[in-house]
Amino acid sequence: MPSATKKPGSKQERESTVVAGLVLLLLVLWIGFLVHRSRTFPGSALGHALGIAGAGLMLVPLAYVFVKRIRRLRAPVTRHVSMRTLLAWHIYSGILGPVLVLLHSGHHFESALGVALTGLTIFVVLSGYVGRYLMRNISAGLRQKESQLQQLTARYEELRSTIATTPSQFAVTHTSLWSRLRNAFFVNDAGTDPVLAALVPRALRLTESRADLEYAIQTHVRFKRWFATWLRFHIVISFVLYAVLALHVWATIYFGLRWLP
């Protein structure tokens, strides 16, 4: 069983490492225009092949978007391909495609359309990477804190029942600021009941820990909502990218093949 629980985590770590490496490669290739520019490579046979392959890969992520949001497609498609597999295709093709497109450009960014396409491509990749992996980390942290809160709540309820069943003037756990200060300075007055003298401060510490965890959970939930909005923005920008890509393909065909009868 321990090995079975480790596999998902190690697989996610490998995926995160590979994807981070591909994103870094994309950024390095983009910065390469500082040291390399080729006017002829985009129109060469290899340049066209890289451009076509990159554009094709950039269309693959649409499969996950459509299947996830169109119920009629989800059932027949997921019978053959799982959503997890579609998501993996979405991630890897969504990065490998832009890498090939940047190689196709030959770092020749003179036209406004080419600059817009390159900028949108990099922005879409980065927005998807940030939204995917930061949201996953936030979700994991949220689950961990909720589990800790449940454990603290159970310990607190157990401790409170112990205090409540102990006959003493200190049997009630106070939550007001004045009561906390009074307990902090005068808890030693319960010398006749050393058990309560030890339990009451522990109950107060548990109460403060619960309050801190509840605040942290609220913060994580707020961030999760923000990133959900960020992912929707990522989808909108992706369709803008596809529109610019289609315009680029049309311009390439129109101006590059206009000599054909």
pLDDT in tens, 100-116: 998 888 877 767 888 88
> Cβ(39)–Cβ(138) under 8 Å?
no
For residue 1, pLDDT over 50 is answered with no
Instruction: Evaluate whether residue 204 is within a structural domain.
Output: yes
Residue 33, token pair as written in the block = 């225009």
- Tell me if residue 106 falls in helix, strand or coil: coil
Q: What is the domain range of residue 193? A: 147-214
Instruction: Evaluate whether residue 176 is within a structural domain.
Output: yes
CA torsion angle for 117, 62, 98, 108 (degrees, to 10)? -30
Instruction: Evaluate whether residue 163 is within a structural domain.
Output: yes
Instruction: Evaluate whether residue 179 is within a structural domain.
Output: yes
Instruction: Evaluate whether residue 80 is within a structural domain.
Output: no
Q: How confident is the model at residue 60 (pLDDT cuts 50, 70, 90)?
A: very high
Q: How far apart are CA 152 and CA 202, in angstroms?
A: 12
Nearest to 26 by CA among 111, 164, 166, 127: 127
Instruction: Evaluate whether residue 137 is within a structural domain.
Output: no
- Which segments of the chain does DSSP mark as H helices, in order? 2-31, 45-59, 61-69, 71-78, 83-105, 112-164, 177-186, 194-256
Average pLDDT for 28-57:
84
- Mean of the per-residue pLDDT values for the chain? 77
Nearest to 26 by CA among 54, 56, 63: 54
The reported pTM is 0.65
Average pLDDT for 217-231:
80
Q: How many distinct helices (H) and strands (E) make up the chain?
A: 8, 0
Tally of domains in the chain: 1
Instruction: Evaluate whether residue 198 is within a structural domain.
Output: yes
Average pLDDT for 247-259:
74
Instruction: Evaluate whether residue 53 is within a structural domain.
Output: no
